[in-house]
Amino acid sequence: MDSETLSRRTLRFVNVAHALDHYVLLIYPTAVIAIAAQTGLGYGELIGLATGAFVAFGLCSLPMGWLADRFGRRNMLAVFFFSYGLSCFGVASAGSPTAFALWLCVLGLASAIYHPVGSTMLVTHARRLGRDLGVNGVWGNFGAAFASGISAFLAAHLGWQAAFLVPGALCLALGAAFLALVPGDGEGGGRAGGGAPVIAVSRPVALLCVFGLAILAGGMTFNVTSIAMPKVIDERLASGLPLALIGSLTTLIFVFGALTQLAMGRLIDRFSLPALFASLSVLQPIGLGIAAATSGAPLLLGLVLTIAALYGQVVLNDAMIARYVPAAYRARAYSVRYFVGFTASGFVVPMIALLHERGGFGLVLGTAALFGLVIFVSALGFLSLTRGDRAAALAPAE
């Protein structure tokens, strides 16, 4: 198989895997509404059972880049498809809080494979870095978007177990197709990923600290918004909405994130990454602040601004690693990036339960707005630290 064909096939499966990664992980936050109605357990207790899933999602991201370097990225992505499918079947079979917690933890472990492995494969096979990152981001965003709508539909008409069984079967089928159609990692036919010049910086430690702080705070805002959104709409938009309508509204909000990712992919190929970082980050504290203080239509506006900023930032962060980290260290860099960002999600689930009990979603979203402010300040710091390097790079040689 020639490198161009291999790259095209690899990118297709990487994009689909990104959609499934976000889709499956967000089934439970919607299905939990139906599970609560069936079991009589409270929202706080049930959503807390997902803590292990989100802790595993973050912690287990760290070794995945090393495992991909050792056993091959193609093999690790195949493991992702099969283990995700089997874990979905396991959650559907759960009949007690302990079983839910156990199988959700296994699901989180499977979900941790994708981002360190898939992001490295994407950068290796990309032809235009910004465009291909944007398209990949849209696939992930639509996975998150349709998780609520489709899960709510399946739970309402076929029972909450169907919300896990259907995507589980799809994961297994895609795993078999991936093994048959993609024979190995290959060198890739892309030009923009592995071959792109790395941007030199004079203060790498300071940049790493500022970027790491933004990643950590971004993990908090991303997961608070993604996990809590179905219940936020249920409580603060209009009480008594059918589950299917709650899921549909959540899906519609996530669609705006997809549009932002497409736009961000185009902008990455044209403008300075630090300037884009600073410009986009201001939307997070504004959107979360509006959502925390309002209800009804203004609440929806705040959530749209927040999701647009969050999902645009995901594409931008991946592009920054691709442009600032040498190719030999990129898989491990993505592992650390997602370890820092997703480990925050392990703290988010119990935090949502605690804050919701004490002050409702006004307190939950207000706390997330403070994390959004940290991201904005970090982005300004990154812009300031790289300004001198850009000026030096543009200066004519003596």
Q: What are the tens digits of pLDDT across the range 270-305?
A: 888 899 999 999 999 999 999 999 887 788 889 889
Q: Is 11 helix (H, G, I), strand (E, B) or coil?
A: helix
pLDDT at 393: 46
- Using the predicted structure, report yes or no on whether residue 48 has a pLDDT greater than 70: yes
Which helix (H) or strand (E) covers residue 247, if one does? helix 243-268
Sign of the Cα torsion 326, 328, 329, 332 reads: positive
- Using the predicted structure, report yes or no on whether residue 326 has a pLDDT greater than 80: no
Over pLDDT 90: what percentage of the chain? Answer: 26
Measure the CA dihedral 32/36/39/44, to 10°. Answer: 90
- Average pLDDT of the chain is 83
pLDDT at 98: 87
- Do residues 21 and 143 make contact, with C-beta atoms less than 8 angstroms apart? yes
pTM (two decimals): 0.73
- Using the predicted structure, report yes or no on whether residue 371 has a pLDDT greater than 80: yes
pLDDT at 61: 81
- Per-residue pLDDT of 156-205, as tens digits, reads 889 889 999 999 999 999 999 999 998 887 665 544 444 455 676 678 78
User: Domain-by-domain residue ranges, the chain?
Assistant: 3-394
Over pLDDT 70: what percentage of the chain? Answer: 90
Separation between Cα atoms, residue 30 and residue 33, nearest integer Å: 6
CATH of domain 3-394: 1.20.1250.20
- Using the predicted structure, report yes or no on whether residue 132 has a pLDDT greater than 60: yes
User: CA neighbours within 13 Å on the CB side: how many for 149?
Assistant: 13
